[in-house]
Amino acid sequence: MWMQGDTVLEVTNLSKKIGDATIIDDVSFRLNQGEIKGLLGPNGSGKTTLLKLLVGLLKPTGGSITVEGYSIQKDFEKAISHMGALIENPDFYDYLSGYDNLMQYVRLVPDTSKNRLEEAIELLEMEGYIHDKVESYSLGMRQRLGLAQAFLSRPSILLLDEPTNGLDPEGIQDLRNYLKRLKSEGVSILISSHLLAEIEMICDRVIIVDQGQIVSEGILDDVRSMQSEEGRYFFRLLDMDKFIQLPKTDPLCQKVVEVVADGFYIQGTEHEVARMNRLLVECEIDIIGIERVQATLEDAFLSRLRRKR
């Protein structure tokens, strides 16, 4: 029996080189039993590659992966039997119903069963359309079908690559509920995304990857507080000419990252935003509004980490 907190997936010094490029660079982390871990990183940071390595779709050039105590390299069959994955868009036969697609899978894959299929349909609340042809499915329904398929072999570990892509806020909310249900059944989940906002409500902990490396790991509150220290703000101005003519002697002007037709963006702390506001007022530049632009991983958080490195 695995206890809460046991490590179900252990990745040690994992690397993947393709040609001259190092796509995954010395990555180590653990996934614990019953945990939902977010794998966050901008596009091109290596999330899909990492997940493909974890399920054996790619071979690492260094390091090791252990699943429930079995090495992916030495004990592939045993290791892989514990994992379900949804990586990129799964292929389905559009002219068959969702049910028949899943039945095909049940016939092909050992350790799956019709009972399990019924369970997955119920768990993911797919009864309403499971007998409709897949060609009539929305993206959210397809995602759910993919999730059901990943779930059929009763995996103790589920790997999901950007499952929120293309879902509306309601779909994301539903996904979150299904994953919580899976978690309560003891399933451990690794879920990737390039948008913090889309998975922050789903995960217990996150790993942040950038350029193939883990740059930060922790509970989300830590990430959020690091992120909120600096933000990107938009100052909408009445008269841009006045701003452009302003002598940029104040060091605060170095915080301006982009100037557009009706205003400018600065990257800074709330304190700096307040100072900028005062500076503009003193120079008689009228401000129509100041908005915080939603901080993406890319701008606030990663730029700080990159500077530190």
Ligand X SMILES: Nc1ncnc2c1ncn2[C@@H]1O[C@H](COP(=O)(O)OP(=O)(O)O)[C@@H](O)[C@H]1O
What is the Cα–Cα distance from 300 to 278, expressed in whole angstroms? 23
Our CB check for ligand X shows the closer of 81 and 192 to be: 192
Q: Closest Cα partner for 295 from 251, 205, 234?
A: 234
Our CB check for Mg ion shows the closer of 60 and 163 to be: 163
* Closest distance to ligand X from the beta carbon of 108 (Å): 27
Q: Closest Cα partner for 235 from 251, 216, 257, 250?
A: 257
For the sheet with 256-260, list strands across it: 256-260, 263-268, 231-237, 287-293
What is the Cα–Cα distance from 159 to 146, expressed in whole angstroms? 12
- The secondary structure element, H or E, covering residue 27 is strand 21-32
* Closest distance to Mg ion from the beta carbon of 24 (Å): 13
* Closest distance to ligand X from the beta carbon of 155 (Å): 21
* Closest distance to ligand X from the beta carbon of 206 (Å): 14
Binding mask 7-46 for Mg ion (x = CB under 5 A): ----------------------------------------
Our CB check for Mg ion shows the closer of 52 and 82 to be: 52
Q: Phi and psi of 176, rounded to 5°?
A: -55, -45
Binding mask 17-56 for ligand X (x = CB under 6 A): -x--x-x-----------------x-xxxxxxx-------
User: Taking CA 158 as the corner, what is the angle to CA 152 and CA 162, rounded to the nearest 5 degrees?
Assistant: 115
Our CB check for ligand X shows the closer of 9 and 106 to be: 9
Picked from ligand X, Mg ion, none, the partner binding residue 43 (CB below 5 to 8 A depending on kind) is: ligand X
* Sign of the dihedral defined by the CA atoms of residues 71, 73, 75, 76, in that order: positive
User: Taking CA 45 as the corner, what is the angle to CA 205 and CA 143, rounded to the nearest 5 degrees?
Assistant: 65
Query: Could you say which residues in the range 40-69 bind Mg ion, by CB under 5 A?
Result: 47-48
* Closest distance to ligand X from the beta carbon of 178 (Å): 22
What is the Cα–Cα distance from 140 to 178, expressed in whole angstroms? 13
* Closest distance to ligand X from the beta carbon of 62 (Å): 16
Picked from Mg ion, ligand X, none, the partner binding residue 115 (CB below 5 to 8 A depending on kind) is: none
Joined together, the tokens standing for residue 269 give 């702390």
Picked from ligand X, Mg ion, none, the partner binding residue 41 (CB below 5 to 8 A depending on kind) is: ligand X
Q: By the criterion CB under 5 A, which residues form the site for Mg ion? A: 47-48
Q: By the criterion CB under 6 A, which residues form the site for ligand X? A: 18, 21, 23, 41, 43-49
